[in-house]
Amino acid sequence: MDNEKFMNNLFVYLEIEDGKVEDVSLELLTKGRALAKNLNCKMEAVAVGSQLDNIGEQVFPYGVNVLHLFDDKHLYPYTSLPHTSVLVKLFQEEKPQIALMGATSIGRDLGPRVSSALGSGLTADCTSLEIGDHEEKKENKTYKDLLYQIRPAFGGNIVATIINPDCRPQMATVREGVMKKEIADPKHKGEIVKHDVTKYVSDTDFIVTVIERQIEKSKVNIKGSPIIVAGGYGMGSKENFQLLHDLANTIGAEVGASRAAVDAGFAEHERQIGQTGVTVRPKLYIACGISGQIQHIAGMQESAMIIAINNDPYAPINTIADYVITGEVETVVPKMIKYYKKNSK
Partner 1 sequence: MSLKIIVLAKQVPDTRNVGKDAMKADGTVNRAALPAIFNPEDLNALEQALRLKDKYPGSTVTLLTMGPGRAAEIIREGLFRGADGGYLLTDRAFAGADTLATSYALSMAIRKIGKFDIIISGRQAIDGDTAQVGPQVAEKLGMPQITYAEEIQSVEKSKIRVKRRLERGIEIAEGSLPMLVTVNGSAPECRPRNARLLQKYKHALTITERQAASVDYEELYSNRPYLNLEEWSVADVKADVVQCGLSGSPTKVKKIDNVVFQAKESKTFDSSDTDIEELIVELINNHTIG
Query: What is the Cα–Cα distance from 238 to 229, expressed in whole angstroms?
Result: 15
Q: Does 224 bind partner 1 (CB under 8 A)?
A: no
Determine which residue in the list 10, 46, 48, 162 makes contact with partner 1, applying CB under 8 A: 162
Q: b or e along 160-187 (b: 16 or more beta carbons within 10 Å of the residue's beta carbon)?
A: eebbbeeebbbbbbbbbbbbebeebeee
Amino acid at 165: P
Q: Does 265 bind partner 1 (CB under 8 A)?
A: no
Determine which residue in the list 154, 196, 198, 203 makes contact with partner 1, applying CB under 8 A: 154
DSSP state, residue 216: P
Q: Does 227 bind partner 1 (CB under 8 A)?
A: yes
**Of 28-36, 65-73, 121-129, 194-202: span binding partner 1 (CB under 8 A):** 121-129
Determine which residue in the list 18, 166, 185, 302 makes contact with partner 1, applying CB under 8 A: 166
Q: Does 1 bind partner 1 (CB under 8 A)?
A: no
Give the side-chain half-sphere CA count within 13 A for 146.
18
Strand partners, 171: 99, 122
Q: How far is the CB of 17 from partner 1 (least distance, A)?
A: 9
Determine which residue in the list 44, 72, 125, 254 makes contact with partner 1, applying CB under 8 A: 125
Stated as kind and residue range, the H or E segment containing 46 is: strand 43-49
73-92 residues in contact with partner 1 (CB under 8 A) are 77, 79-81, 84
311-340 residues in contact with partner 1 (CB under 8 A) are 318-328, 331-332, 335-336, 339-340
Query: What is the Cα–Cα distance from 146 to 132, expressed in whole angstroms?
Result: 5
Q: Does 310 bind partner 1 (CB under 8 A)?
A: no
**Of 26-34, 44-52, 192-200, 207-215: span binding partner 1 (CB under 8 A):** 207-215
Tell me the CA distances in angstroms from 126 to 101, 108, 160, 171, 173, one per residue in order.
10, 12, 10, 10, 6
